[in-house]
């Protein structure tokens, strides 16, 4: 099977760890390097359009990776709402599963804890979910 990973550059210290976790998991589960296509987008808000582009590559599942961290404005809420609802809409519209691997944390430390820290790496969980959903879709 082929997998697409769309990853946001914002908070790249976090998202690069999510990407490493997702890629390593897909490889450990039997994918080869040529089965994995990675696309980088500026921020989590752009994950939705990036997924539409990735879908043209005829992959079996698409993993969206991002990290949104609470700031002092309402931007956090707008980005989180847009990306979660956008990915939900993509799951309705597309014929491949689109996995929500976006961290939504109050602090940078919480994001670190979930991207290779004490709470694991959500990139790994997203990759496992992608494999399960791609199999289900077959
Ligand atoms: C503008 C912005 C802010 C303030 N915070 C984040 C964030 O924590 N995580 C993230 O992925 N992106 C952030 N962005 C960028 C937006 O996702 C988007 O790239 C811009 O609003 C341009 O559309």
Q: Which atom of ligand 1 is nearest to the CA of 71?
A: 4
3-state secondary structure the chain: CCEEEEEECCCHHHHHHHHHHHHHHHHHCCCCHHHEEEEEECCHHHHHHHHHHHHCCCCCEEEEEEEEECCCCCHHHHHHHHHHHHHHHHHHHCCCCEEEEEEEECCHHHHHHCEEECCEEHHHHHHHHHHHHHHHHC
pLDDT in tens, the chain (138 residues): 999 999 999 999 999 999 999 999 999 999 999 999 999 999 999 999 999 999 999 999 999 999 999 988 889 999 999 999 999 999 999 999 999 999 999 999 999 999 999 999 999 999 999 999 999 999
119 flagged as catalytic: no
Q: Does the Cβ of 30 fall within 6 Å of ligand 1? A: no
């Amino acid at each position: 099977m082929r997998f697409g990973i769309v990853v946001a550059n914002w908070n790249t210290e976090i998202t690069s760890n999510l990407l490493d976790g997702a890629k390593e998991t897909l490889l450990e589960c039997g994918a080869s390097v040529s089965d994995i296509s990675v696309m980088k987008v500026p921020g989590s808000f752009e994950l939705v359009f990036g997924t539409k582009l990735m879908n043209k590559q005829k992959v079996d599942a698409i993993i969206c990776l991002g990290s949104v961290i609470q700031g002092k404005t309402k931007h956090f809420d707008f980005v989180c709402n847009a990306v979660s609802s956008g990915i939900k809409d993509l799951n309705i519209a597309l014929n491949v599963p689109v996995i929500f691997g976006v961290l939504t944390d109050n602090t940078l430390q919480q994001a670190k804890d979930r991207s290779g820290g004490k709470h694991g790496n959500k990139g790994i969980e997203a990759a496992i979910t992608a494999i399960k959903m791609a199999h289900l879709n077959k």
